[in-house]
A and B are shown apart, each in its own frame.
Chain A
Amino acid sequence: MSISSQAGVRAAARPAHKPGRVARRVLGFLVVAVVAIVCLIPFWYLLVMSLTRQQDTFVVLLLPKSFQWSNYIVAWNKANLTVLFRNSLAVTINALLLTLLISSLAAYGFARLKFRGSAIILNVLLLAIMVPGQTLLIPLFLNMKALHLLDTLYSLILCYTAFGMITATFILTGFFRGVPQELLDQAKIDGCSHWDIYARIMMPLARPAIATVTIFLFLSYWNELILALTFIQNDGRKTVPLGMVHFSGQYKIEYGQMAAALVWATIPVLIIYIVLQKQFIKGLTAGALKA
């Protein structure tokens, strides 16, 4: 625990630590530690289960009794994880790029261009945040059916984009408004069109905001279940969350293999999170605080 010099001065100004204060600190630490254990035990339990042989899964284990690493290989093959990951990756990346493109264009329009009805349109979009996706499930399903897009990844890419673009537009609009006007005036004098300003000045400047939005969208697209459940039946088109739900519903599933499949499904996000903790936490909370 490092104490900055400023804090040191502050502490010195106060009376020395009273025993009550120390006790409360210990209590606070204990509360936090207990919650941390509750938070982590399910993950630990999953790991232990994923290494357990089928005959041992009928007792509760907190320490592995066996190390059956083959569960991971069997689960990967049985759950078709190569296909699931490929589909999830294709859907997430395409939807992400599409969302970022159209949202940043709109954000530039709302933030920097004057046109009639702009405030009204922005407010209508703001209202759409309140519409629960489920209420649109039936018409979306029927539309996808009419367009022969059921059981394709396009159905998911289009719908994810539609639901993700609104928050993305708001965050980026806020960011673009903060860019100093002088920068744009200078560009205009140099003969830049609005497209140039958007592509050459705004987008490079917006990198931090785009990173925030990307993390937010990545997670909601990667983990989405309801639309995938409704649109996709074909095994070759399933995403990871949908694949997990269907895998667990299979007849005669071995628990160790099920657990191993769930670990596989969780690993990519956890790795990215460990690398980018700060950005993740910021990216996921930005949406709530802005809207």
Chain B
Amino acid sequence: MEARNLYGAVGKAQGLAARPARRRSKQDLVGYLFILPVVVFFCAFILYPLVYSIRLSLFEWTGYTKDMLFVGFRNYTDVIANWVFWTTVKNTLIFALALALVQTSIALILAIVLDSKLFGREVFKVIFFTPVLVSIAVVSLLWGRIFEPNFGLLNGILNSLGLSSLTRAWLGDSSVALYAVVAVSAWTGFGYSMVLLLAGLQDIGEDFKDAAKIDGATDLGVIRFITIPLLRPVIALVLTLTLIGGLKVFEIIYVMTSGGPNHATESVSTLLYYEAFRFNRMGMASATAVFLLIGTVVISLVQRRLMESEALA
């Protein structure tokens, strides 16, 4: 957004058209040379695979033999007719929405508390950001152990608090497994959201808040009527970033549950991975990938449009 506007302004101001044609084409060439490597990488590893993916979705193919059978849109109709696909769509949406809400709410509360002159503020910030750095592979394995039903930490703590009735196989019980994964995901990500929100809070500045306080507003009043409304664009950004990240969820599910029990935690991404690399159905997997692509791009575009209108308003 910002990039485009700036460029437009610069380009017009310098008056490209006024230059002699030969100099212009030489100048063009220099520019193209500088961006060439990035463009080559883009074409080879993003654009071409994208087109290839769409092409593959029209074929029936194991990925290992030479014979690819053209089947038109049958893969798409097969995907739509498969209940597992719809389960994964539902799971992915629940995951993304729950994650966005939980993670952003926790992050917002912490950011508001930390925005005051709290004792140990910097230390807390560093602590909250630590899970962001640890690889998802490690996080998933660690939490898999914490959720372990017989000697995992969570059930152990519940037992010692006399809450044995709440203990369960957190990842083996299809009614809670997805939310357990959401919780772990929020654990790794809330520090990140919090730092973004804190940056937004610091931009608001003390003047507004002080003015409101002099006018007799309470602390909660300031938060409700000054901080939150002014922070809305940043809150929207954090919500949508988490939401879109959530739609792509793969690693944490792959490592913690492999999509189980009985597809209760299967996401669209894990489904497409298993279709391709476990069941060797490249066509079906590619059609699933195309659905995932369309879904995330549409949601991203809607988000951008909303953010732009927010910025204009």
Contacts and interface: CB of A to CB of B under 8 A. Distances in A.
Contact of B4 (A119, A161, A225): A119
Contacts of B10: 177
A136 B3 contact: no
B80 interface: no
Given A105-B38, A262-B138, A60 B293 contact: no
Contacts of B34: 105-106, 108-109, 113, 194, 198
Interface string B214-249: 100001000000000000000001000100100110
Interface residues of B, number: 107
Contact of A138 (B44, B53, B141): B53
Given A49-B145, A262-B141, A58 B187 contact: no
A78 to B, nearest CB: 15
Contact of B153 (A14, A45, A225, A269): A45
A31 interface: yes
A189 interface: no
A222 B135 CA distance: 8
B16 A114 contact: yes
A1 B117 contact: yes
Interface in B3-23: 3-4, 6-8, 10-11, 14, 16
A285 B195 contact: yes
A115 B27 CA distance: 7
A57 B276 CA distance: 37
Interface string A232-272: 00000000111011001000000100110010011001100
A29 B119 contact: yes
Interface stretch (B96-104, B107-115, B168-176): B107-115
Interface string B168-207: 0000000000000000000100011001100100000000
Nearest to A59: B151
Contacts of A13: 214
A162 B44 contact: yes
A45 B142 CA distance: 9
A76 interface: no
B249 to A, nearest CB: 10
A179 interface: no
Interface string B133-176: 11111100111111000111101110010000000000000000
Interface stretch (B71-79, B83-91, B123-131): B123-131
B106 interface: yes
Contacts of A265: 135, 137-138
A173 interface: yes
A32 B138 contact: no
B50 A134 contact: no
Interface residues of A, number: 106
Nearest to A124: B42
B24 to A, nearest CB: 8
B52 interface: yes
A29 B305 CA distance: 38
A219 B131 CA distance: 12
Contact of B37 (A21, A43, A102, A139): A102
B38 A174 contact: no
Q: Chain B contact residues: over half helix, strand or loop, or mixed?
A: helix
Contacts of A284: 132, 192, 195
A32 B34 CA distance: 48
A128 interface: yes
A102 B38 contact: yes
A89 interface: no
Q: Chain A contact residues: over half helix, strand or loop, or mixed?
A: helix
A273 B8 CA distance: 39
A211 interface: no
Contacts of B213: 14
Interface string A99-123: 0011101101110011110110111
A63 interface: no
Contacts of A58: 150-151
Given A114-B27, A128-B42, A223 B137 contact: yes
A60 B219 contact: no
Contacts of B16: 114
A77 B49 CA distance: 38
Interface string A185-226: 000000000100010000000000000000000010011011
Contacts of A49: 145
Contact of B125 (A138, A139, A281): A281
Contacts of A166: 42
A24 interface: yes
A269 B134 contact: yes
B46 A135 contact: no
Given A46-B142, A132-B296, A158-B45, A32 B113 contact: yes
Contacts of B250: 134, 226
A43 to B, nearest CB: 8
A33 B255 CA distance: 30
A223 B136 contact: yes
A131 B195 contact: no
25 contacts: A28-B113, A28-B118, A29-B119, A35-B110, A39-B127, A39-B191, A60-B155, A108-B34, A113-B27, A119-B11, A122-B4, A135-B50, A135-B290, A136-B45, A138-B272, A138-B282, A170-B3, A223-B137, A230-B277, A241-B136, A241-B138, A262-B138, A262-B142, A266-B135, A280-B133
Name the 8 nearest CB pairs between A and B, nearest first.
Answer: A60-B156, A115-B31, A109-B34, A162-B45, A223-B135, A139-B49, A241-B137, A139-B52
